[in-house]
A and B are shown apart, each in its own frame.
Chain A
Amino acid sequence: MSINLTLLIVMGVLYACGIYLILERSLTRVLLGLMLLANATNILILSTGGYAGLAPLFSKETNPETYNDPLPQALILTSIVISFAVTAFMLGIIYRTWVLARQDEIQDDLEDVRVAKTPSFDAEDDAIVPLETSEFAVTPAGPANPEKQDATETPNTATTQEGGSA
C-alpha cells in the first residue's frame, strides 16, 4: 500500500489545530476545532483506501486492480453528512448562548461550584449534639453555668445547620 505523505501531514496539522481549539473556552473556537477534527478524520479514512485509482464505475475492460477502493469514500460521505448536521446544531446552540448570556464562553455549573464550596464540616453529622435532646424547652431553673451552656448550645446548632446549607 503506497502512502500519500502530503495527506498524512495535512491530517496531522488538522488534528493538532483541532485539539488545540477544542481546549479553548470560547464556543466558536470549540466548534471550529470539532470541524477540523472531523475533516482530519475524513482524510484518515481516505488514506486507508490505499493508492489513488480510477473511479469505481464498472466496465468489463478495466483491470480490477486499477480501481480505487470505493468503501472509504462511502464512509467519508456519511461522516461528512453527520458532521454537517452536528455543526449546524452547534451553531444554533452557540447563537442561543449568545442570545441568553451575551457571551460564547462555557459557563461553570452552579451545582458543581456549590459542592466545591461546601466545607468538609457537615452540619448534620459533625455539629455538637445538644445535651438535651427532648423537644421540651429547657427549664430556666438550676445552677447558673450549665443553664447558660444549654441555652447557648441549642440555638447554636440550629443556626449552624442553616448556615451550613445556605
Chain B
Amino acid sequence: MNLANLSPLAVLLPILGAALAFLLIRHHTAQRVVSIGILSATLLLECLLLISVWDGGTTSVTLGGWLPPWGVVLVVDQFSSLMLVVSTVVSLAVLIYATGQGMADGDQEAPVSIFHPTYLILVAGVSNAFLTGDLFNLYVGFEILLTASYVLMTLGGTGPRIRAGVTYVVVSVVSSVLFLIAIAMIYGATGTITMADLAIKLAELDQGTQNLLHVMLLVAFGIKAAVFPLSFWLPDSYPTAPAPVTAVFAGLLTKVGVYAMVRTETLLFPGDTLNVPLMVVALLTMIVGILGALAQSDIKRLLSFTLVSHIGYMVFGLAMSSVAGLGAAVFYVAHHITVQTSLFLVTGLIERRGGSSSIDRLGGLAKLSPLLALLFFIPAMNLAGIPPFSGFLGKLGLLQAGVELGTPLAIVLVVGGVVTSLLTLLAIARVWNRAFWRKPEDAEYPDPVLKTPGNVGVLPRTMVGSTAGLVVFGVALTVFAGPLFKVADGSAGIMLDRSAYIHSVLGDSVVVPPLAQPDETQNDQTPTDDARDG
C-alpha cells in the first residue's frame, strides 16, 4: 500500500478533531484530550509520510475522482513532508503549553473553550497549504488558516487585541484578494490551476505575461511571509495576541508564505528572472527588520522584528536558485520555525514569572529562575547563530552558497547576513543583560513579583515542560543536522529539477525536460536580454 494515500488525513484529522472538540465545548478535560490526541496522531502520520519520502521520491494523491489536470491533487515530497513534521511538532508543543496555561488560569469562561477547535482548524489549514498541488486549493488552505488565525488573534476581544486584529485582518484579506486576482489571471492565461500543469503551460507564455503573473504571486505571498516592504503589519499585530498564539503564528504562518514563495520560484517560474530583485528585498528585510528590533523594549515586539529580519535569510537562499542555496534555505526554515516558537513560548513564561515582557521592568531573572534563563539562553543563542547550534549551520550553509555564487550582489548579501547575525546577537544580549543579569532593583520600574523567590505556582509544569521539549527539539536539529541537511539538499535538488513533481502528478508520459531545460539554458545564455527587458 502506498503511504502517500494517507496524506489527506493530515488535513482531515485536525478538521474532524476540531468538530469533535467543538461538540465537547462544555467538557474541558475531554476537549483537551481530544485535541492533543488528534494532533499526536497527525504527527505520527506525518512522520510516516516523511519516512516514506526520506530518500527522495515524490508521490501524489488525486482527490474527488477528477484526474490531475482538472482535479485537486495532494503532493508529498521531501520539502512538504519535512515542513509538515516540523510544523506539527511545533503546534503540538504550543497546544500542550496552551493547555497548561488554561488549566493554571482556570479557563472556565466561554471564549477560551473556542481555542481548541480553532487551533486544530489552523493546523489543518497549514497542512493543506503544505500538501496541495493545486493553486486554488493553496488559496483555500491559506484562507482556512487565516480565518482561524483571525479568531485566535482577537481571542477574548480586549481593546489592544481588537485594534491589532483589525490591522491583521485587513492586511491578510488584501493579500488574499491579490492572490485570488493572480489565480484568476493565471487561469485566464493558461486554462489550468494545477501546479504541475502550470509548470509546463506557464513556460509557453511570453516573457512579459510571465513576469506579471510571477510578480503578482510573489507580492501576495510576500505580504503573508512579511518580506520587507510588505512586513509592517507583523510587529504591529503579533505581540498583542496571547503568548501561545503569538508563538504558533510566529513559527508557522510566515513560513507558509515562504513555502508558497519557494514553490512559485522553483515549480511555476524556474530560472533567474527575478533573482536580483529578490536578493535586494532579502537584504533590506534582514537589515531593516533587525534595526527595528534594536529600538524595541518589549521582548515580544523585539522578537517579532527578528522574525521579519530572519525571513530575509530564507528569501536570500531562495533567490540564489542553486541546490546549495535552496537546501540551506529549507534547513533554515525548519530551524527558524522551531527556534522562533520556543523563544515566544519562553517569553510567555517570562511574562508569567516577571509580571511583564518589557525589558524596562524586568531584572534578575537569572537568579530567580535559572531554568527559565537556560530555556531562554539556548534558543536565543541559536537564533543569533552562535557556533554549535543549528542557526549557525543554516547561516553557514547560506553564506557558503552565496560565496559559491560569487556575484557582487551575493557577496553584499553575505556581508549583510553576517551583520544581521551580529545585530541579532546585540538585540538578544540586550534582553539577556536587562531581564536576566541585572539586579531587580536596577530595573526602571521593577515589578514587585521580582522580589518573591521561587517559581512555585507561577510556572505550571506543563508549560515549562512543553517549552523545554521544543528547546530540546531545536537542539536535536543541531545534533541531527547532517541527515537533515541531506534531506534539505535532496529536496532542493528535486524542486529545481521539477520533473519528479510533474511526473508524479501528470504521469510519466508528460514531457518535461524539453520545456524545462531550454528555459534554463536560455536564461543562462542571454542574461543581457533579461537585463534589457527589465
B180 touches A34 (CB 8 A): no
Shortest distance between the CB of B154 and any CB in chain A (Å): 6
Complexed CA–CA distance, A27 and B167 (Å):
10
B272 at the interface (CB under 8 A from A): no
- For A112, the chain B residues whose CB sits under 8 A away are 236
> Is A162 in contact with chain B by the CB < 8 A criterion?
yes
For residue B159, which residues in chain A have a CB less than 8 angstroms away from its CB?
Answer: 100-101
Contacts known (A71-B187, A97-B166, A106-B166); A45 close to B173, Cβ less than 8 A: no
Q: Does B174 contact A (CB under 8 A)?
A: yes
**Contact partner of B140 among A78, A86, A109, A115, CB < 8 A?**
A78
Contact B295 A93 (CB under 8 A): no
A interface secondary structure, majority: helix
Alpha-carbon distance A32/B271, docked complex (angstroms): 40
Stretch at the interface among A36-44, A59-67, A138-146, A148-156: A36-44
Indicate which residue in A37, A48, A107, A115 contacts B177 across the interface (CB closer than 8 Å). A37
Contact, CB under 8 Å: B236 / A100: no
The answer to whether B147 touches A86, judged by C-beta atoms less than 8 angstroms apart, is: yes
| A109–B163 touching, CB < 8 Å | yes
Note all chain B residues with C-beta closer than 8 A to A30.
Answer: 170
Is A48 a contact partner of B154 (Cβ separation < 8 A)? Answer: no
A residues near B174, Cβ cutoff 8 Å: 22, 34, 37
- Tell whether A111 is near chain B: CB-to-CB under 8 Å: yes
- Binary B-proximity of A82-102 (CB < 8 A = 1, otherwise 0): 100110011001001100110
Inter-chain contact B170/A100, CB cutoff 8 Å: no
The answer to whether A93 and B180 have CB atoms under 8 Å apart is no
* A160 interface residue (CB < 8 Å to B): no
Q: Are B180 and A90 in contact, with the CB atoms below 8 A?
A: no
Given contacts A45-B187, A86-B169, A161-B444, contact A111 B301 (CB under 8 A): yes
Q: Select which of A22, A97, A111 is within 8 A of B162 by beta carbon.
A: A97
> Given the complex, which residues of A lie within 8 Å of B70, measured CB to CB?
71
Query: At the interface, yes or no: B462 with Cβ under 8 Å from chain A?
Result: no
Cα distance A37–B177 in the bound complex, in angstroms: 7
| Interface 0/1 of B163-196, CB less than 8 Å to A | 1111101100110110011011101100001000
Which single member of A34, A72, A166 contacts B170 (CB below 8 Å)?
A: A34
Q: Is B9 an interface residue (CB 8 A)?
A: no
- A4 contact set on B, CB distance < 8 A: none
Contact yes or no, A27 B181, CB < 8 A = no
User: Is A75 an interface residue when CB atoms closer than 8 A count as contact?
Assistant: yes
Write the nearest CB–CB distance from A36 to chain B, whole angstroms. 10
Given A27-B166, A38-B177, A109-B163: A48 and B298 within 8 A (CB)?
Answer: no
Contact A82 B150 (CB under 8 A): no
Closest to B188 in A: A48
B103 beta carbon closer than 8 Å to chain A: no
Bound state CA distance, A85 and B405, in angstroms? Answer: 47
Q: How far is the CB of B201 from chain A (nearest CB, A)?
A: 14
Q: Which listed residue, A45, A89, A97, A161, touches B180 by the CB 8 Å rule?
A: A45
Give A34's nearest chain B residue, CB to CB: B173
Chain B residue at minimum C-beta to C-beta distance from A89: B150
Q: A100-B159, A111-B298, A111-B301 are in contact. Are A93 and B169 (CB under 8 A)?
A: yes
A165, B187: Cβ atoms closer than 8 Å = no
With A75-B136, A165-B444 known as contacts, the answer to whether A41 contacts B170 (CB < 8 A) is: no
Q: Assuming A45-B187, A78-B136, A111-B298, is B181 touching A93 (CB within 8 A)?
A: no
Q: B151 an interface residue at 8 Å Cβ cutoff?
A: yes
B447 smallest CB distance to A (angstroms): 15
Tell me whether B360 is interfacial, beta carbon within 8 Å. yes
B181 contacts A41, CB within 8 Å? yes
B143 within 8 A of A: yes
Which of A30, A109, A110, A162 has the largest count of B CB atoms less than 10 A from its CB? A109
Contacts A34-B170, A96-B162, A111-B301 given; 5 further ones with Cβ under 8 A?
Answer: A45-B184, A72-B187, A75-B187, A82-B140, A97-B166
Which residues of A are at the interface with B, using a C-beta cutoff of 8 A?
Answer: 22, 27, 30, 34, 37-38, 41, 44-45, 47-48, 71-72, 75, 78-79, 82, 85-86, 89-90, 93, 96-97, 100-101, 106-107, 109-112, 115, 118, 161-162, 165-166
Interface residues of B (CB under 8 A from A): 70, 136, 140, 143, 147, 150-151, 154, 157-160, 162-167, 169-170, 173-174, 176-177, 180-181, 183-185, 187-188, 193, 236, 239, 295-298, 301, 360, 444
Q: List 26 A-B contacts (CB under 8 A).
A: A22-B170, A27-B166, A34-B173, A37-B174, A41-B177, A41-B180, A41-B184, A45-B184, A45-B187, A47-B188, A75-B187, A78-B136, A78-B140, A82-B143, A86-B147, A86-B150, A86-B169, A93-B154, A93-B169, A100-B162, A106-B166, A106-B167, A109-B163, A109-B236, A115-B296, A161-B444
> 4 closest pairs, A vs B, by CB?
A48-B188, A45-B184, A44-B184, A82-B143
